[in-house]
Homo-oligomer: A and B are copies of this chain.
Amino acid sequence: MITNMIPPDLPPKAPPTLKTIAFMTGLGISTVSRALKDGPEIGADTKARVKLIAREIGYRPNRAGVRLKTGKTNVITVVLNAGEDGSGFFSNFVYGISDALSGTSYHLVVTPYSLSDPMAPVRYIVETGSADGVILSRTQPDDPRVRYLLENGVAFATHGRTEMGLVHPFHDFDNEAFARLAVKKLVAKNRRRLTLLGPPASLTYSKHTHLGFERGLIEYGLDGVPLTSIDVDTSLMDVREASRRMAAGQFPPDGLVCSALRTSFAVAAGFEAAGLKIGRDYDLVTKHSTELQEMLRPEIISIPEDFHQAGHDTAVMVMDWLAGADPADLGRLVKPDIV
C-alpha cells in the first residue's frame, strides 16, 4: 500500500474486523466468530443479528489472521512450465481453474518452473506451506512431484495420469482413443503410410498416444513408424525442417497424426516446402482447442481437447479433496468428442 495519496480528508477507515462487530453488537469477539460460522452454542437471534451487521458493514475475514491461526492458506497453486503453450493451453487451463475457484474462498497463484528443475516449486510450496492445494501439468509415469506431495500430505491433482500405483486425483484426455480415432480418419481417406508426431517420451500421455496409434495400425492391418527425433515440444522451426526432409524422402508418409495444433502447422509448412499438398498428397489429424484452427487450415482434420474443462476439473478435485473427499474417487478420463 502506498499511503501518500489518500485524500487527507478521508481517513483510511480500517476494514471491519471481528472486533468491530463485537463492539457494534455488544457481544464478545469469540461469540461473533462462532455466530458467523453457525456454531451450535449460539442463539438463533444472536446469529441473525451478527450476520446482519456483518453483511451490512461488509465484513470479510482477514486472510492473514485465518491463515496464521489455522494454517489454512486458502490458496491453490498451479505449477506451469513456461514453454508449454500450444495455442491456448495456458490461458484455457488457467481460466478453467479460475472458473472453478470463483465464488469460493480460494485464490489462484501461478508458479512457473523451468524444465531443468521441476521439483523446485513443489518443494517450495511444501516447505513454506504456501498453498492448500496444487495443480500439476506435464505429468510423468513416475513423477517425483506426485510422490513428494503424497509423502507430505498436500492435496493436489494432475493433468495427466501417473503409473506409480499411487492413488491421486487426475484429469486426463483419452489420448489412446484420440490416436486410434486419428488413424481411423486417415484410413477413411485411404492413407496407408502413417506416422505419429507425439508428445515427448517422458510424459505419460506419450505412451497412451503411441499405444493408440499402434492399436489403430493393427486394427487396419497397417504398419507405420512413429517419429522419434522430434516431438510436440520441439521448436517449430526444427519441426518444419524435419518435416520438409521427411516429405522430400523416398517414401514420405501420406498420413500424419500430431498431438498438438501448433506443431501440426509446422508439419504442414514443412510438407508444403517440399511440394506436397495437404488433402492431395497427404492428410494430417491433430488435436485442437481453439476455433483458430479452422480459420487457418481447414484442411487439417482436428479432434477437440478441452483445456478449460481440464483446468476446471483439476481445481474441483483439489477442493473436494481438501473438503474431505476420498482422493481414490477423484479422477476423470475424457473421451475425445466424435464430431
Contacts and interface: CB of A to CB of B under 8 A. Distances in A.
B95 A82 contact: yes
A31 interface: no
A155 interface: yes
Nearest to A261: B292
A8 B111 CA distance: 30
B2 A153 contact: yes
A297 B295 contact: no
A194 B128 CA distance: 57
A152 interface: yes
Given A68-B64, A88-B85, A132 B295 contact: no
A108 B109 contact: yes
Interface stretch (A55-63, A175-183, A204-212, A218-226): A55-63
A19 to B, nearest CB: 14
A172 to B, nearest CB: 22
Contacts of A276: none
A296 interface: yes
B154 A1 contact: yes
Contacts of A235: 291
A5 interface: yes
Contacts of A73: 64
A250 interface: no
Given A87-B87, A127-B60, A129-B1, A265 B68 contact: no
Copies of this chain assembled into the complex: 2
A295 B321 contact: no
A172 B266 CA distance: 31
Interface residues of A, number: 64
Nearest to A297: B296
Given A58-B127, A98-B112, A154 B2 contact: yes
A240 interface: yes
A4 B322 CA distance: 12
A14 B333 CA distance: 37
B321 A128 contact: no
Interface string A112-154: 1000000000000001111010000000000000000011111
A71 interface: yes
Interface in A302-331: 321-322
A110 B107 CA distance: 8
Contacts of A15: 127-129
Contacts of A60: 127-128
Contacts of A266: 295
A6 interface: yes
Contacts of A85: 88, 91-92
A297 B296 CA distance: 8
Give 7 closest A-B pairs by Cβ, nearest first.
A90-B91, A64-B67, A64-B68, A85-B91, A98-B112, A269-B295, A265-B295
